[in-house]
């Protein structure tokens, strides 16, 4: 069943993710000499995660609903702002019973915390195509700093459809979910504490 995601006034996880992710790594070549707003295309926004299951194998999951935007200057590679919002009840691991458990208060507590929010706070470019994005991740009502490694895959006019200038971005980070108070299964080794977050997105310049 599709999930609706309505921005909240206090925390719009509109992330830029992934979005802001682009910021620090954009190539000056397709640049406009001023900050522009980029919106993540919801049809090309993949939000994945990996975590260990009882030591046998990693479980791969996704969040099916997310949105975000950021303000970025491609010429100066300066990020002015960026947010991403993810619907917690859109979690999907291809197993209904497990997905319902993940929505419970053992994990995401989706009934009380409808969104996970990332807000960008800064970035450092390492090259024209790679950089480090820093931000604040709000999960289960707790806010903690996170750092993502970001790759700019492409910056160009889209070859079909909307035809607008678009950034293609990949971002990765690993968090310890217990830092946000999500401790179910950690002590007995049933569920890994470390969670790899995987963001793949296309952001359209407005």
113 in a structural domain: yes
Give the mean pLDDT of the chain: 88
Give 140: exposed, middle or buried? Use CB within 10 Å, 0-12, 13-18, 19+: middle
Instruction: Give pLDDT, residue 18.
Output: 41
Global pTM value: 0.83
189 in a structural domain: yes
12 in a structural domain: no
Cα–Cα distance for residue pair 150/139, rounded to 1 Å: 21
Residues 177-200: what's their mean pLDDT? Answer: 98
Give how many domains the chain has, as a whole number.
Answer: 1
147 in a structural domain: yes
The secondary element (H helix, E strand) that includes residue 49 is strand 36-53
> 6-38 pLDDT, tens per residue?
444 344 433 333 444 444 444 444 444 689 999
Per-residue CA distances from 40 to 91, 114, 135, 193 (Å): 19, 20, 17, 29
34 in a structural domain: yes
116 in a structural domain: yes
Instruction: Give pLDDT, residue 16.
Output: 39
Task: State the CATH number of the domain containing residue 95.
Answer: 2.40.128.110
Q: Which domain holds residue 141?
A: 20-205
Q: What angle do CA 54, 57, 62 make, to 5 degrees?
A: 100
Cα–Cα distance for residue pair 174/78, rounded to 1 Å: 25
> 78-130 pLDDT, tens per residue?
899 999 999 999 999 999 999 999 999 999 999 999 999 999 999 898 998 99
Three-state secondary-structure class, residue 118: strand
Instruction: Give pLDDT, residue 78.
Output: 86
pLDDT > 70: what percent of the chain? 84
11 in a structural domain: no
13 in a structural domain: no
């Amino acid at each position: 069943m599709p999930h609706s995601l309505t921005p909240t006034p206090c925390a719009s996880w509109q992330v830029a993710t992934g979005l802001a992710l682009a910021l620090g790594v954009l190539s000056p070549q397709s640049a406009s000499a001023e900050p522009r707003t980029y919106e993540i295309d919801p049809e090309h926004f993949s939000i994945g995660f990996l975590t260990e299951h009882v030591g046998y194998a990693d479980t791969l999951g996704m969040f099916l609903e997310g949105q975000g935007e950021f303000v970025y200057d491609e010429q100066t590679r300066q990020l002015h702002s960026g947010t991403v919002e993810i619907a917690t009840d859109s979690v999907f691991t291809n197993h209904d019973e497990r997905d319902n458990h993940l929505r419970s208060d053992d994990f995401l507590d989706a009934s009380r915390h409808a969104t996970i929010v990332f807000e960008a706070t800064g970035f450092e470019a390492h090259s024209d195509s790679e950089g480090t994005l820093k931000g604040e991740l709000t999960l289960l009502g707790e806010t903690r700093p996170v750092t993502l490694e970001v790759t700019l895959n492409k910056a160009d006019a889209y070859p079909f459809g909307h035809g607008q200038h678009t950034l293609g971005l990949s971002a990765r980070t690993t968090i310890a979910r217990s830092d946000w108070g999500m401790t179910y299964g950690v002590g007995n080794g049933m569920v890994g504490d470390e969670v790899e977050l995987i963001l793949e997105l296309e952001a359209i310049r407005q």
